[in-house]
Amino acid sequence: MELNPVEIRLLRRFRKMYMVTAFLVSLAMTAVLLLTVFNLPAFGKAGNPAENEVIGRYIEKGLEETGAVNIVAAVILDYRAFDTLGETLVLFTALVAVLMLLKDEAGVFNRRYRERSKFEPEKDQIFRSVAGMLIPCLLVFSIYIIVNGHLSAGGGFAGGAILGATLVLYNIAYGLEKARGFINEKNFLRFITAALLFYSVVKGYSFFTGGNHLPSVIPLGFPGSIFSGGLILPLNITVGIVVACVVYGAFCLFNRGGL
């Protein structure tokens, strides 16, 4: 479809306005950030606070109030759980943006996939054999990192990244058709939507009961056991699902234009 001269002029004008607006917004944000940095207290200045009472509260009361041995997990998924929800929503929003920009229509995707199929790494038997040995180990390790996050170093972000990389390796080694057997587009959207909804509902409930001094009836468990930390374990799992889906989805869209 060809554009008439009036439409071409309007399009060129829009592009110029868009570039000017983007430049001004970026310049304003840069100025605000630089002004903030310049107004921070100097490092080592005598008048700087020597102790942060919030940090002290986390360290002294963290185990008692959250049931998590790992204080970092207690902060991320209990005290500041809504911050973590915002971070996962940022990842989800980034994935949606990539989906809008790079997803091909079904006909175009299938045609391109057929054209590239003979060059796919799945044809390499050595690569498939090595991947077949690595994938189960990586899968178990990613699950361990996710479910062990409230007990030691780890959690949903680290474990989810490993799980997403494992799915990417499976996709590369065994091909898109086999990968679609368990993580096609419908299942992908179900996983990530269910994880975000679960996180929002259960954490909203616990914040409502805590803010109103009501019993949440969610046991904290015995510190150090796998089923401890209240909601931290299931929230770690949901974060891991979101991160894994984002890593895998971004790979598929950038690599092939679809899931």
What 8-state DSSP symbol labels residue 3? P
Q: Are 205 and 216 in contact (CB under 8 A)?
A: yes
- Give me the pLDDT at residue 121, please: 67
Residue 63 lies in a domain: no
Same-domain pairing of 216 and 134: yes
Same-domain pairing of 196 and 106: yes
Side-chain half-sphere of 168: how many Cα atoms within 13 Å? 20
Give me 120's structure tokens.
Answer: 């796919």
Distance, CA of 68 to chain centre: 22
Residue 180 lies in a domain: yes
Residue 18 lies in a domain: yes
- pTM attached to this predicted model: 0.79
3-class SS at 34?
A: helix
Residue 111 lies in a domain: yes
Query: Number of folded domains in the chain?
Result: 2
245-258 confidence digits (pLDDT tens): 999 999 988 887 77
Same-domain pairing of 26 and 104: no
Residue 149 lies in a domain: yes
Side-chain half-sphere of 16: how many Cα atoms within 13 Å? 6
For tokens 């180990």, what's the residue? 137
Show the 3-state SS of 163-220: HHHHHHHHHHHHCHHHHHHHHCHHHHHHHHHHHHHHHHHHHHHHHHHHHCCCCCCCCC
Nearest to 241 by CA among 148, 147, 156, 138: 156
Same-domain pairing of 30 and 100: no
Same-domain pairing of 226 and 155: yes
Residue 172 lies in a domain: yes
- Give me the pLDDT at residue 51, please: 65
Same-domain pairing of 138 and 235: yes
Same-domain pairing of 146 and 233: yes
- Give me the pLDDT at residue 179, please: 82
Domain that holds residue 7: 1-38
Same-domain pairing of 188 and 241: yes
Phi, psi of 228, rounded to the nearest 5 degrees: -140, 175
102-142 confidence digits (pLDDT tens): 777 766 666 766 666 666 666 678 888 898 999 999 999 99
Cα radius of gyration rounded to whole Å, the chain = 24
Residue 198 lies in a domain: yes
Same-domain pairing of 76 and 172: yes
Residue 52 lies in a domain: no
pLDDT tens-place values along the chain, 259 residues long: 566 777 788 888 888 999 999 999 999 999 999 999 998 878 777 777 666 778 888 888 888 888 889 999 999 998 888 889 888 989 989 888 888 887 777 666 667 666 666 666 666 788 888 989 999 999 999 999 999 988 988 889 999 999 999 999 998 888 877 888 878 888 888 899 999 999 999 888 888 887 777 888 888 888 888 888 888 999 999 999 999 999 999 998 888 777 7
Same-domain pairing of 139 and 210: yes
Same-domain pairing of 79 and 29: no
